[in-house]
């Protein structure tokens, strides 16, 4: 189906092996090969390859460089927290340990280039050397000179070296202010549905027929394709749900696709809410399926554990903070004063307050307002002791409140409430407080 890659300068059988390992990435591999040229020719100084997650960027580079046995250094920018690590890794894979040990403790780019030049003049490149940088978007956060220098490394070290940057983000977001050497841009397109199916059906269970497995994948893609196109995620789900499928299989024949679909589809939909969001770990999910009678998803996932035990006054403080965050200050009088008179909602609608506050998010409020609301929602008389104030600050450390004003501002600090509606409803139920009656949005 796919034509074997051909390029002068490389052995046929190696290219054959490369082709086998790169399903659906053959045009990209051919493009790369023609840009790389023969091993001893100079290649373009830098290339920038972008594409979605799991579109085979690193895989294609890895297979090409490994199978064709080209000298290369693969560097992940996540691991290289300092440039020293980066330089060391490159020198290590090109010139061995002695070169890497020559680097001073905190090397400059200039040291790296000097050592590289020294060694490359001793053993000049017979083949193009490749430096592959994965997750190149992190290079932008390091030293401002690093990215422009890497892009023209071929010129700086005067050696046959090519830098290949892999990233998920487009090149426009990389370009420095004063410009730089423009790399060749290559795009790895996303896999289409047919290609995904083809790749996913490669790792089928040998004891089942190919048609059966591909119809299973078809069902799986039907559920997940509109949400997720990440090959790795789909593959993970695929292998997980297959065991579940086998449990259900006992009553159904292999060829009866319709029945199969009816049986497995609801389970897959549930998997989207549990496994896909990592609410339930994949191990737990497998265990659930062992216990047949237990409906999967009945187990409480991570996000169901939102209930937090708080002291009595902390609960009221949090409720007061929520009310202060989501109600406009002008309505406080109406909610919390005894003889407020009748004010209709429409009377104090302002032009920019038409949208609900639960859409815009919490607003900051001063400490005084929090305390005033607190005293009016708590039934008993509470003294403003140190314990009340320390409870406020411990709510901040628990990240249930956030402090908006600067840390050094001791008088009249401002806060925001950072809990969700469900959470505060659960809290107010435990203290028999009907919070919905006090919320302006739900009037």
**List of residues contacting another protein (CB under 8 A):** 6-8, 34-35, 37-38, 41-42, 44, 50-52, 55, 108-110, 113-114, 143, 145, 148-149, 152, 155-156, 168-173, 178-182, 184-187, 189-190, 192-193, 225-229, 272-273, 276-277, 279, 303, 355, 358-362, 402, 404, 416, 418, 420
Largest CA distance in the chain: 92
Closest CB to another protein among residues 226, 347:
226
Give least dist CB 21 to another protein, A.
22
Burial status of residue 90 (CB atoms within 10 A of its CB: 0-12, 13-18, 19 or more): buried
Q: Which is nearer to another protein, 99 or 156 (CB)?
A: 156
CB atoms within 10 A of CB 368: 9
Nearer to another protein, 96 or 176 (CB): 176
In contact, 137 and 174? CB cutoff 8 Å: yes
Q: How far is CA 277 from CA 174, 237, 271, in A?
A: 31, 11, 9
Do β-strands 365-366 and 414-417 pair in parallel, antiparallel, or remain unpaired?
A: antiparallel
Compare residues 366 and 388 and give the one whose CB is closer to another protein. 366
Nearer to another protein, 14 or 204 (CB): 14
Residue 358: closest CA among 327, 402, 313: 327
User: Smallest distance from the beta carbon of 371 to another protein, in angstroms?
Assistant: 22
Q: Cβ 100 to another protein, closest distance in Å?
A: 17
φ and ψ at residue 46, rounded to 5 degrees: -150, 145
CB of 313 to another protein, least distance (A): 24
Closest distance of CB 359 from another protein, Å: 5
Nearby residues of 282 by Cβ (< 8 Å), 6 or more positions away: 236, 240, 275
> Contact, 221 vs 203, CB < 8 A?
no
Nearer to another protein, 23 or 148 (CB): 148
For the CB of residue 234, give the shortest distance to another protein in the complex, in Å: 11
* CA gap 403, 340 in Å, rounded: 31
């Amino acid at each position: 189906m796919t034509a074997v890659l051909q390029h002068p300068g490389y052995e046929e059988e190696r290219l054959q092996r490369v082709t086998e390992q790169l399903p659906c990435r053959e045009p990209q591999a051919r493009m790369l090969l023609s840009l790389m040229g023969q091993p001893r020719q100079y290649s373009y100084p830098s290339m920038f390859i972008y594409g979605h997650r799991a579109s085979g960027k690193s895989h294609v580079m890895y297979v090409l460089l490994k199978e064709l046995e080209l000298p290369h250094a693969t560097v992940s920018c996540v691991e290289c927290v300092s440039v020293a690590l980066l330089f060391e890794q490159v020198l290590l894979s090109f010139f061995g340990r002695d070169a890497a040990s020559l680097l001073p403790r905190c090397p400059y780019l200039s040291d790296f280039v000097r050592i590289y030049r020294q060694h490359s003049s001793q053993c000049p490149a017979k083949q193009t050397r490749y430096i592959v940088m994965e997750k190149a978007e992190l290079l932008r956060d390091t030293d401002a000179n690093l990215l422009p220098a890497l892009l023209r490394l071929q010129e700086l070290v005067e050696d046959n070296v090519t830098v290949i940057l892999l990233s998920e983000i487009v090149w426009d977001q990389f370009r420095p202010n004063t410009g730089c050497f423009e790399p060749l841009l290559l795009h790895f397109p996303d896999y289409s549905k047919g290609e995904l199916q083809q790749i996913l059906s490669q790792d089928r269970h040998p004891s089942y027929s190919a048609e059966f497995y591909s119809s299973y994948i078809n069902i799986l893609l039907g559920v997940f394709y509109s949400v997720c196109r990440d090959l790795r995620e789909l593959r993970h789900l695929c292998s997980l749900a297959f065991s579940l499928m086998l449990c259900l299989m006992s009553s159904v024949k292999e060829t009866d696709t319709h029945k199969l679909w009816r049986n497995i589809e609801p389970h897959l939909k549930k998997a989207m809410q549990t496994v896909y969001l990592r609410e339930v770990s994949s191990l737990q999910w497998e265990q659930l399926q062992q216990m047949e009678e237990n409906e999967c998803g009945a187990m409480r996932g991570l996000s169901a554990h939102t209930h937090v035990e708080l002291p009595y006054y902390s609960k009221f403080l949090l409720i007061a903070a929520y009310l202060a965050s989501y109600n406009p200050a002008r309505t406080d009088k109406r909610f919390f004063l005894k003889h407020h008179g009748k004010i209709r909602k429409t009377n104090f609608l302002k032009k920019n307050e038409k949208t609900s506050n639960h859409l815009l998010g919490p607003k900051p409020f001063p400490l005084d307002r929090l305390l005033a609301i607190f005293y009016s929602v708590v039934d008993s008389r509470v003294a403003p002791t140190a314990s009340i104030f320390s409870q406020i600050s411990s709510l901040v450390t628990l990240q249930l409140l956030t402090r908006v004003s600067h840390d050094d501002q001791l008088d009249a600090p401002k806060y925001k409430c950072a809990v969700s509606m469900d959470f505060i409803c659960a809290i107010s139920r435990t203290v028999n407080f009907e919070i919905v009656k006090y919320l302006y949005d739900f009037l």
